[in-house]
Structure 1
Amino acid sequence: MSSIFSKIVTGDIPAYKVAETNEFLAFLDIAPLAEGHLLVIPKKEVDNLFDLDDETYTGLLIFAKIVATAMKKAIECNRIGVTVIGLEVPHAHIHLIPINGVGDMNFSNPKLKFTPEEFRATADKIRAEL
């Protein structure tokens, strides 16, 4: 069965896409901890990040670095936090989260709510910095 992320890749489920290559995709998390909270995924569906082949794994990290650099320019924050949890969706993914302190990456914090217009504006701001 396809993961929700694979359905985003195929276009069966809409997403606020920020960056895309033939192998990777970055899109806004719809239950974000901060404005600009992104998920970076390989298009190839593999459940565990460490089960990716070496080429895909290193390519994903390089892609995440490119996206994080644009995020830092677009979203006011001290850093772009990086985390891999991997329990929510059976598809390897990296969270990139604009943070000002370590507490900003606590996934038990309340999730923020944005309108579709706000999500689009945030995606546009990050895309403009790529």
Structure 2
Amino acid sequence: MRKAKGCVFCDIVAGKAPAYTVCEDELSMCILDINPFAQGHCLVIPKRHVPWWHDLTDEETASLFKMARHVAKCIMREFKPDFVCMYARGRRIPHTHIFLVPTVRGDVLDRFFNALEGVQEAPAELAGLRQPTIFREVAKRLRKSQDSIA
């Protein structure tokens, strides 16, 4: 596994930094977040140092998302939230990771995402992105781009 010097997640994978491990397989590891939004807030990380989720191999992607689904089911069973919010990051710690956050309607994370959706819908500068001609052009560009991506 490729490691990055100074990466806390690489140190956790290598056993050089402490973590509360939930589960792991050959390619991925699930740990508790040390700054949780809610009880049961977990991070699913690839064992190989990968800054961005879109740079994962197909095998790593499958492992990460299979583990995320498995742990989300455990979170639902044990903590009984309304749902488990999932999102991928890699910005503050440049080692991609999936957040799994038990969420109750109306809690701080739910309110944050509801507010974010309002921001996405409101600004005039984003209105231009919602035009049928723009949608067609963006879809066309993304379809064409698929031909050159392995």
Q: Which category of TM-score, normalised to the shorter sequence, fits these structures?
A: 0.7 to 0.9
The equivalent residue for 1:56 is 60
Alignment-mate amino acid for residue 38 of structure 1: C
Pairing 1:11–2:15 present: yes
Counterpart pick for 1:41 among 34, 42, 45: 45
Please, what is the CA RMSD of the aligned residues? 1.7
Contact 2:89/2:96 (8 A) holds in 1: no
Q: Aligned-pair distance for 1:88?
A: 1.4
Between the aligned residues of both structures, percent identity stands at 36
The alignment status of 1:104 with 2:109, answered yes or no, reads yes
Work out the CA distance in 2 between the residues paired with 1:13 and 1:86. Answer: 19
Higher relative contact order (CA 8 A, sep 6+): 1
Could you tell me which residue of structure 2 aligns to residue 70 of structure 1? 74
Question: Deviations along 1:3-62, whole A, 9 cap, x unmatched?
Answer: 100100111111011111121110100011111110001101111010111121122111
- Where 2:51 maps in the other structure, the secondary structure is coil
Q: Does the aligned pair in 1 maintain the 2:30–2:43 contact within 8 Å?
A: yes
Letter in 2 for 1:83: Y
CA distance in 1, matches of 2:41, 2:105: 14
Match of 1:94 among 93, 98, 102: 98
Q: Secondary structure at the match of 2:84?
A: strand
Unaligned runs of 5+ in 1: 108-130
Aligned to 2:35: 31
TM-score, length-scaled by structure 2: 0.66
More helix by share: 2
1:100-126 CA-partner distances (Å, limit 9, x unpaired)? 12742549xxxxxxxxxxxxxxxxxxx
Distance 1:78 1:13 in 2: 33
